[in-house]
Amino acid sequence: MPKSTIKGLGFYVPDNIVTNDDLTKIMDTSDEWITERTGIKERRWVNNDKLSTSLMGTYAAEKAISDSGLDKNDIDFIIFSTLSPDYYFPGSGVLLQKKLGIKEVGALDVRNQCSGFIYGLSIADQYIKSGMYKNILVVGSEIHSGGLDKSSRGRSVSVIFGDGAGAAVVSATDSDSCILSTHLHSEGKFAEELAVIKPATTFWIDKIVKNDDDKSYFPYMNGNFVFKNAVVRFEQVIFEALNYSNLKTEDINLLITHQANLRISQYIQKRLKLTDSQVFNNIMKYGNTTAASIPIALTEAYQSNLIKKGDIVVLAAFGSGFTWGSALIKW
């Protein structure tokens, strides 16, 4: 049975840097609060109408394909994870396909928010193991900035999120350097604890424009509740991946968690008794980029030579849905 490996990586973030001090000019917040509660110092927010979620994903994908040494026509399936698509429909996968100029391969959109990249990676891994496809492009891309409540009312959510895109080419291999396992979970009873619920088919736009006070088209997050669930689920799903391969926390060369909040990553590090060199974080520079955060961080770690052949790399995510998951990779 073929196995799958990450053959190429790439990421793209918009040029426009928004610092915590910049945010103090538009809402009641401070660098101290944001740094202490989240670890974030700056994020990228698109300030150019030409950039879209699918275009940023395309830029990241071009880099990942180039890094893989393959040609774009070698890609035989596309998986695009985002909670901030260009259009209500069609999905962003086909838009990326058009922009990349890839032939008529299948394109699938994944709507699993912060876990979207792990879900995409898991789907790619299964398709490759089944022999159906050989080179799958997995993309995570988000433009949050346009949809945030940037008034003081929305500050607990809007200071966290940033825009960006990351991509991986997942290819068939016979080698032992491969994705060892992926683990996916969800708990729909908490679907509304972190959500944008309007407008959609339950609340068409005409129902909300009649009420000026209804701001539920902005993201809502029950921050404390999400935080408490995140730390538990991250730990569980990381151990699930380690146990599956009979590995221990000491065997982890690099852990990359979804960059939700630096305090969450630090808490996990402490619980798992990992050293600083076993964990990679870059939320300080980019904020929380949802489905893009893991591929951006993985690419940065890889480009910084923090990942060597034979290393055990663990990826883990938790977010809206709730959904969570992990992937254990031998590099």
DSSP state of 102: -
Stretch that binds ligand UT7, among 128-136, 141-149, 154-162, 304-312 (CB under 6 A): 154-162
Whether 114 sits among the annotated catalytic residues: the reply is yes
Q: Which is nearer to ligand UT7, 129 or 263 (CB)?
A: 263
- 137 is a contact residue toward ligand UT7 (CB under 6 A): no
- Considering only residues 19-78, where is the footprint of ligand UT7 by CB under 6 A? 29, 33-34, 37-38
Q: Are 171 and 134 in contact (CB under 8 A)?
A: yes
Q: Which of 114, 135, 281, 282 is catalytic?
A: 114
Which of 159, 180, 184, 313 binds ligand UT7 (CB under 6 A)? It is 159
Q: Bridge-partner residues for 218, per DSSP? A: none
- 227 is a contact residue toward ligand UT7 (CB under 6 A): yes
Whether 178 sits among the annotated catalytic residues: the reply is no
Whether 183 sits among the annotated catalytic residues: the reply is no
Burial 205-226 (b: 16+ CB within 10 A, else e): eeeeeeeeeeeebbbbbeeeeb
Which of 20, 112, 288, 289 binds ligand UT7 (CB under 6 A)? It is 288
Q: How far is the CB of 37 from ligand UT7 (least distance, A)?
A: 4
DSSP labels, 180-240: EEEEEEE-GGGGGGEE---SSSSS-HHHHHT-TT--TTS-EE-HHHHHHHHHHHHHHHHHH
Which of 56, 114, 283, 292 binds ligand UT7 (CB under 6 A)? It is 114
- 224 is a contact residue toward ligand UT7 (CB under 6 A): yes
- 264 is a contact residue toward ligand UT7 (CB under 6 A): yes
Which of 16, 35, 156, 181 binds ligand UT7 (CB under 6 A)? It is 156
Instruction: Give the E-state strand segments of the chain in sequence order.
Output: 3-12, 17-19, 42-44, 77-81, 106-110, 135-142, 164-173, 179-186, 194-195, 220-221, 254-257, 312-319, 323-330
Q: Which of 112, 229, 281, 288 is catalytic?
A: 288
Can you tell me the distance from the alpha carbon of 170 to that of 12, in angstroms, rounded to the nearest whole number? 18
- 147 is a contact residue toward ligand UT7 (CB under 6 A): no
As a dihedral over the C-alpha atoms of residue 195, residue 200, residue 204, residue 206, rounded to 10 degrees, the angle is 60
- 313 is a contact residue toward ligand UT7 (CB under 6 A): no
Stretch that binds ligand UT7, among 101-109, 123-131, 151-159, 163-171 (CB under 6 A): 151-159
Distance separating the N- and C-terminal Cα atoms of the chain = 19
Q: Which is nearer to ligand UT7, 38 or 53 (CB)?
A: 38
Q: What is the largest CA-CA distance in the chain?
A: 59
Q: At what angle do helices 31-38 and 262-271 cross, to 10 degrees?
A: 30
Q: Which residues bind ligand UT7 (CB under 6 A)?
A: 29, 33-34, 37-38, 114, 155-156, 159-160, 223-224, 226-227, 230, 260-261, 264, 288, 319
Catalytic residue numbers read 114, 258, 288
